[in-house]
């Protein structure tokens, strides 16, 4: 789905003057969301460079968020806060594998507990992106070994996402409930070692990394 959104966004932006905001005929659509993802739509989109940019209500989470934002930025991953008009209904956050940015929906910003979970969730998608050899491609890889994600979370992902997205989304849902996992993943992504030296790859991920020449 995310790659479909990206493709739509790219097509929508081809005929758009570089310095003009594209004309959005329908807000809260895949068109508006794609326009935001590729950076053509900037109105009401602001970068989050420190936890304070989210608001004082996030102070209980300041230590985790401060480190998480710092690790993300060190890897070249940027976080943005965007107006609700860009997001398809009930979408709280999105990660783009094309430009390594993720976007948070301002509509939900007054709920710091929930939105901190969204930051962890979308941040974990960045970790999966990093696990696929490099952030410079558009691939993502499963990070955690079988059995780590509890069955109840996996079943929830099966009810909420297309079949091919379930392994990735189940991990991200699991990470949302852990105040250290996404931080550890982003710090590994920003570190000197390859991701798979910190998170031993699953057999399938290892096979893919070897095939692509990343794993020696």
Distance between CA 121 and CA 16 in Å, rounded? 32
Q: Is residue 173 part of a domain?
A: yes
| Confidence band of 6 (pLDDT split at 50, 70, 90) | very low
Number of domains composing the chain: 1
Distance between CA 5 and CA 133 in Å, rounded? 23
Q: Is residue 10 part of a domain?
A: no
| pTM for the structure as a whole | 0.88
Dihedral over Cα of 32, 34, 36, 40: its sign: negative
Q: Is residue 40 part of a domain?
A: no
The SS3 of residue 120 is helix
Cα separations (Å) of 207 from 121, 133, 165, 185?
A: 25, 12, 19, 21
Q: Which domain holds residue 104?
A: 47-83+90-211
Provide Rg for the chain, Cα atoms. 17
Helices (H) and strands (E) in the chain, counts: 9, 4
Burial class (CB in 10 A: 0-12, 13-18, 19+), 90: exposed
Burial class (CB in 10 A: 0-12, 13-18, 19+), 71: buried
Cα separations (Å) of 20 from 43, 85, 88, 181?
A: 11, 18, 23, 40
* Higher-scoring residue by pLDDT: 113, 20: 113
- Convert the pLDDT of each residue in 114-137 to its tens digit: 999 999 999 999 999 999 999 999
Name the token pair of 121: 């969730």
The length of the chain is 216
DSSP3 helix / strand / coil % (the chain, rounded to 5): 55, 10, 40
Q: Is residue 101 part of a domain?
A: yes
Distance between CA 15 and CA 80 in Å, rounded? 25
Q: Is residue 170 part of a domain?
A: yes
- Convert the pLDDT of each residue in 176-195 to its tens digit: 999 999 999 999 999 999 99
202-216 mean pLDDT: 93
The reported pLDDT for the residue numbered 15 is 40
Contact 215, 207 (CB under 8 A): no
Name the token pair of 36: 């935001």
């Amino acid at each position: 789905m995310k790659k479909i959104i990206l493709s739509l966004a790219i097509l929508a932006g081809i005929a758009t003057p570089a310095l003009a905001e594209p004309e959005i005929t329908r807000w809260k659509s895949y068109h508006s969301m794609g326009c935001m993802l590729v950076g053509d739509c900037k109105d009401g989109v602001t970068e989050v460079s420190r936890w304070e940019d989210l608001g004082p209500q996030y102070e209980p989470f300041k230590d985790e968020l401060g480190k998480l934002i710092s690790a993300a930025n060190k890897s070249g991953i940027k976080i943005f806060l965007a107006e609700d008009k860009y997001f398809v209904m009930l979408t709280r956050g999105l990660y783009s594998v094309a430009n390594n940015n993720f976007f948070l929906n301002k509509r939900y910003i007054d709920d710091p507990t929930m939105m901190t979970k969204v930051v962890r969730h979308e941040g974990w998608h960045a970790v999966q992106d990093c696990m696929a050899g490099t952030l410079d491609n558009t691939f993502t890889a499963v990070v955690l070994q079988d059995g780590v994600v509890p069955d109840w979370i996996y079943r929830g992902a099966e009810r909420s996402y297309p079949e091919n997205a379930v392994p990735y989304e189940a991990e991200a849902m699991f990470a949302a409930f852990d105040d250290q996992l996404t931080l550890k993943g982003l710090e590994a992504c920003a570190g000197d070692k390859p991701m798979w030296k910190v998170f031993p790859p699953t057999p399938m991920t290892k096979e893919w990394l070897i095939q692509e020449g990343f794993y020696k």
